[in-house]
Amino acid sequence: MIGYRFTQYFDQPNDKSIFDKLLELFLELLVYTSGDVKEALDWLHQLDREYRITNDQYGMADFMADLQNQGYISPPRNGDNPPQITAKSERAIRQQSLDQIFGKLKKGLRGDHPTPHSGQSDESTADRRKFEFGDSPDQIAMTESLRNAQINHGIGHFTITENDLEVQENTHKTHTATVLMIDISHSMILYGEDRITPAKK
């Protein structure tokens, strides 16, 4: 009999390095600060002091040096010109935003964005299941369905019923519509709530 098993919960270890954790936060803060590196780093310092992201072996100075060495920010030329983000940072911000938006798509209408769900599309999978009302006739796996009919009813008098039919699963593609919207009304910052950053993404 299948039932429930209760075991002790163990938190999954996070294999990300300190640099990767800080970089993810830094890129997110760049969206909030409209690309202002100095302000994003100031916020990151505050987060580090509150949540102790760094340690004695790797500090914020090491992170800033790695940002420059890996090409995420340009080195400051003089005291008047603070460091600026580079094309590599811009690509990373776009990639992170797309991952946040499309990383966990829910099942919707037919379209061009793949998800882990099965559904109606042009790409078939190796999975098969019983026929259900509403399935398209072109999804029926004929070879498997005929084999089931012969097994269930014999070969003397050929008969095929709905219970014999098998359907070949297809990958589901979620339909999305992309809209570029710019809202500059007062409600975007009303009551101290930030609505501009989601609009940027």
Summarize pLDDT for 162-197 with one digit per residue, the tens. 888 888 777 666 666 777 766 767 787 777 777 777
Show the domains of the chain with their CATH numbers: 18-104 (1.10.10), 110-174 (no CATH)
At a CB cut-off of 8 Å and minimum separation 6, what does 32 contact?
A: 40, 43, 194, 197
Does the pTM exceed 0.75?
no
Query: Do residues 162 and 131 touch, judged by C-beta distance below 8 A?
Result: yes
Residue 26 above 80 pLDDT?
yes
Kindly report, residue by residue over 110-120, the tens digit of the pLDDT: 555 555 555 55
Q: What are phi and psi of 155, to 5 degrees?
A: -105, -5
Residue 63: pLDDT band with limits 50, 70, 90: very high
Q: What is the CA radius of gyration of the chain?
A: 27
User: Across the strands, what pairs with 110?
Assistant: 174
